[in-house]
Amino acid sequence: MSDPAQDALQAVLPLTGKAYIDGEWIDLPGAERLPVINPANGNCIAQVAAGTAADLDRAVAAARGAFAAFSQSPVAARIALLERVHALMAERAEALAQVLVTEMGAAISFARASHVPFALGHVQAAIEVLRDYEFLTMRGTTAIVREPIGVAALITPWNWPLYQITAKVAPALAAGCTVVLKPSELSPLSAIMFAQIVHDAGAPAGVFNLLNGTGSEAGAGMAAHPDVDMISITGSNRAGVLVAQGAAPTVKRVTQELGGKSPNVLMPDADFERVVPLGVMAAFRNVGQSCSAPTRMIVPRSALAQVEAIARRTVEGIIVGDPTEDATTLGPIANAAQHRRVQTMIAVGIEEGARLVCGGLGSPEGLDHGLFVQPTIFSDVSSGMRIAQEEIFGPVLVIIPYDNIDEAVAIANDTDYGLGGHVHGADLDQARSVALRIRTGQVHINSPAWDPHAPFGGYKRSGNGREYGLFGFEEYLEVKAILGFA
């Protein structure tokens, strides 16, 4: 019987020593090889070739050379290209899901239900925006023209590898930009599969280019490159700052989707039996490795014991284990450095005097191999504690009590971040009022369905610019005014 994970891996391995530049897979025989580790067992599953500065120059030159024609291509042609990309992704959805399991430990059920469908959603959203977009509008006799910005360099993270690629590449191509993509070196295999999909979809040579490498080398080179017109990064605050600094001398556009420490405010009238499990699972989605994860549950002090009991019961139903098993809820942390970070921050919470509701240091019982952690909940947390202020990026939830709504809002906003937020309550007017006061780029009221057209991005240190839908599309456009046009 064939192994789906191995079959998917074998399909991508022949391309790991190459870069995709100017419509071709280019061998990089002398390049440094970067290991890709399966976090469930520690095995090295691949080695990808790290592009050099010369390789980056070649990729940027290819994108620059393709820009004049692609930026003027008919909207219908760009829609057709994205429709072919969407169809091929859907056709290869299982292979993409299997590679995500292997390269970053996503549970196969979650990869199938979220990673791949959400990535498809971004491609579909770009198609829908482009289909209806007016690139020229009139204001009296003045024409307002929106034009593709140029060569877009895109840096994507390891935690949602495919999803973040399509969130950037799809609107960039829809806008008429040409692209150089650098995925995370920690989970690059789904990016290689995506590049092959773009190739098979018939993208013109040079329109899409893929170069692997580290952030300190390839990412820094992209930020500083004089022929790159825009750089978009999703990553850590440290990486975002370095990219912005590197881009400053060439005054290129920089968009950043960075860290988060998102609040989940449970109103006094909330149905705790319903919303607490939703909040726990939202915080632990993707093993807590989501920048918008609502990892601060802010609850009425009078309901603290009830919330703790429901949260503990919810965690007892979580299955941590082999990500290839259909029954698994949470797989391993995606890489060793992040695993160390999560364990360190759990220790910090204990040292700070927060009370463990469940979980704690070490691996779950029976999992003494791989990068597994115990789903952990702290209570009696104060807003000033490090575990309430710092992004942990693992399945660690803190419960913070409040005495009145104003205090709840103050706690929600007591952070350097401002990416996401949640409010749960029966009185919709009151929930709306709180949502309007939370200083974040996106707020969810009562756990709504995901909307790929809803703009996503941060206030404060969570970044600049927006992604998804119309707002994400327009990040890839320049605005030109032509007076006397009419």
> Rounded CA gap, 50 and 56, in Å?
10
State how beta strands 444-445 and 142-148 pair.
unpaired
Burial class of residue 79 in the structure, from the number of CB atoms within 10 Å of its CB (0-12 exposed, 13-18 middle, 19+ buried)? middle
Beta bridge partners of 35: 47
Q: For residue 145, how many other CB atoms are within 10 A of its CB?
A: 15
Single-letter residue type at 17: G
Contact partners, residue 411, CB within 8 Å, separation at least 6: 263, 296, 298, 383, 400, 402
Which among 68, 89, 77 has a CA at the least distance from the CA of 203?
77
Sign of the alpha-carbon dihedral angle for 327, 329, 335, 337: negative
> Rounded CA gap, 179 and 486, in Å?
34
The tokens of 189 are what?
A: 């295999």
On whether the CB atoms of residues 243 and 233 are closer than 8 A, the answer is yes
> Rounded CA gap, 227 and 137, in Å?
29
Half-sphere exposure of 10 (CA within 13 A, CB side): 6
Single-letter residue type at 203: A
> Rounded CA gap, 12 and 16, in Å?
7
Catalytic (active-site) positions: 257, 291
Which among 175, 230, 227, 166 has a CA at the least distance from the CA of 198?
166
